[in-house]
Chain A
Amino acid sequence: MNSQKLPYFLILPSIIFLFMLTIYPMLFALYHSFLYWMIGSPVRFIGLENYINVISSSLFQNALIVTLKFSGIVVAIELFLGLITALIIAGIRRGQGIISAILVMPISVAPVVAGIIFRNLYMKETGVVDYLLTVIGLPPPPEGILGNSNTAFLGLIVTDVWEWTPFIALIILASLLSLPSDIIEAAKVDGASDWQVFRYIKLPLIKPTIFLAAMLRFMQAYNTFDIVYVETRGGPGIATQTLSYHLFLEGLAYFHLGYASALTVVVSLIAVVLINIYLMFTIFKGGS
């Protein structure tokens, strides 16, 4: 075994395994996306018809908009709250260990459990959130928080923000604490205010980390399934149907194999674009 080939030899088993697990299903989907496939009628080749059906389907368009809107909003809120949280924690001297131990807990909660918890909190009339909203004089909709299109969407956003803001906060905290302290001290000696130190020294230095965290979260939000399944089932109507949930319904509940296969390909292509943008800024950065 010469050492030129050794790395490939070490990687090969996992590559072969993952190929069977992912590329083969993808080819399976690609093949079936060109076929007409209904129980009780013969299978036949129909070209791009499934793709045209997907693109022109109002369900798909709705799911795409819901998904992008959801992802954009949660990322913006999580960045804002995460940054503030990190800045406050970075400013204290004692207790950072225990604070991060508590902050990490929402991240450890399985998304399905996060969904369960908030479904309970949002319960009509008897839920804690309904009660709190009534107390502060903002009565929730009579059909319940998860029964109204707008508040159901908001409810999912709050669930995601609750689970992932600590993640953003801990990332930003880690990069704040690793900043070179001599530069900051020097700026303070020169009479820079706290705000100036943040705006002109800290923020530019942590910006790349914030940017990458945002993209990572956007992709994860693009995949959102569990909390939708638990809290709203895409409802009321189709108001909270994400792409993942739409695909789940078409493929594994209604068994529309042709449509679902074409949808699989379309959803994957969007994911591939997002993932490649992320990779461009991380491991492909500057070659090496």
Chain B
Amino acid sequence: MKWMSFIRYLFIFIILGLFMFPIVWIAMLSVKPPQYNFTVPPTFIFPPTLDHYIACLITPGYFVAPVYNSIISSSIATVMALAFATPAAYAFSRFRFRFKNFLMGWYLGLYLAPPIVFLVPLYFIMQKLGLVGTHAALWISYQMFSIPLAVWLLKNFFDEVPKEIEEAAMLDGCGVLKTMIYITLPVGAPGLIITALLVFVFCWNNLLFPMALAGRTARTLTISTMEQFRMIGVTWNYIATGSVLIMLIPAIVFIIFRKYLVRGLMFGAIR
């Protein structure tokens, strides 16, 4: 029995190693002096350097402006998504009404549909409106997946707020809307914060939308990192640096809220 559990732990160790290796590898590349980049066999021990991070920070247009664009567009998109999704999620959680399942299915369908099918026509529409290359093009288009995601995550959180609290408030003469704003939302605040962070991460990680709609002026961190491939003599260290910057926030959010994440991203399939 002892050695059985030893083998289990050994297996787990190997599995975790395999899943961690690519992340560790790119993180190492971001602090590697360039002469160690392309050695055969690969180099794992080297004097680490922060040169690439410093270079990316001080070179104008490399990372500072794109990080700013990413933060602005993702934050506005998150605030908007929550503003639209909170009342909708509350309705789905608290009321029975006609077309409820149909509507919830419609939101989910939008989230699961290939985004490119909306993006090709949307590009031409945004172009006509003169929005291509602005932050607005990004935070507007991000709603396509942000609102459905937020509605589904929030509905799960509202479902867990006990109805008794609301009933007490209503007995004291609160209307439905007042009850939602003063009772349910404060009690469900942790859920709102978690939802906001997850929506932010999905906007932050996006490549396709800014590729189609950001132009040069509103290009995000994912775009500027990809642009490094077009430089003469691909600078892998800078690409790795950008990759680490992209990974940082999502990794922290996902690790802290992993419990909600797995259930939330199954969209009602696990009850």
Binding site for B on A (CB under 8 A): 1, 3-4, 6-8, 10-11, 13-15, 17-18, 21-22, 24-26, 28-29, 32, 85, 88-89, 91-92, 95, 99-114, 116-118, 120-121, 123, 125-126, 128, 131, 135, 162, 165-167, 170-171, 174-175, 209, 212-213, 216, 219-220, 222-223, 225-226, 229-230, 243-244, 247-248, 251-252, 257, 260-261, 264, 267-268, 271-272, 274-276, 278-279, 282-284, 287-288
Given the known A-B contacts A102-B19, A112-B222, A116-B243, are A28 and B121 also in contact in the complex, defined by CB atoms under 8 Å? Answer: yes
Return the 7 tightest CB-CB contacts between A and B, nearest first: A251-B120, A110-B205, A108-B254, A25-B121, A10-B87, A7-B91, A126-B38
List, in ascending order, chain A residues with CB within 8 A of B41's CB.
Answer: 131, 135
Whether, in the assembled complex, B239 has its beta carbon less than 8 Å from a beta carbon of chain A, the answer is yes
Binding site for A on B (CB under 8 A): 5, 8-9, 11-12, 15-16, 18-20, 22-23, 25-26, 29, 37-42, 84-85, 87-88, 90-92, 94-95, 97, 100-101, 103-105, 107-110, 112-125, 140-141, 143-144, 147-148, 151, 176-177, 201, 204-208, 211-212, 222, 225-226, 236, 239-240, 243, 246-247, 250-251, 253-255, 258, 261-263, 265-270
List, in ascending order, chain A residues with CB within 8 A of B26's CB.
Answer: 113, 116-117, 120
Q: Do residues A272 and B109 form an inter-chain contact, with CB atoms below 8 A? A: yes
In the complex, residue of chain B having the shortest beta-carbon distance to the beta carbon of A288: B101
Q: Do residues A14 and B12 form an inter-chain contact, with CB atoms below 8 A? A: no
How many Å lie between the Cα of A6 and that of B90 in the bound state? Answer: 11
In the complex, residue of chain B having the shortest beta-carbon distance to the beta carbon of A271: B113
Given the known A-B contacts A6-B91, A29-B120, are A11 and B9 also in contact in the complex, defined by CB atoms under 8 Å? Answer: no
Say whether chain A's binding surface is mostly helix, strand, loop, or mixed. helix
In the complex, residue of chain A having the shortest beta-carbon distance to the beta carbon of B223: A112
Q: Do residues B255 and A283 form an inter-chain contact, with CB atoms below 8 A? A: no
In angstroms, how far is the closest chain A Cβ from the Cβ of B92?
Answer: 8
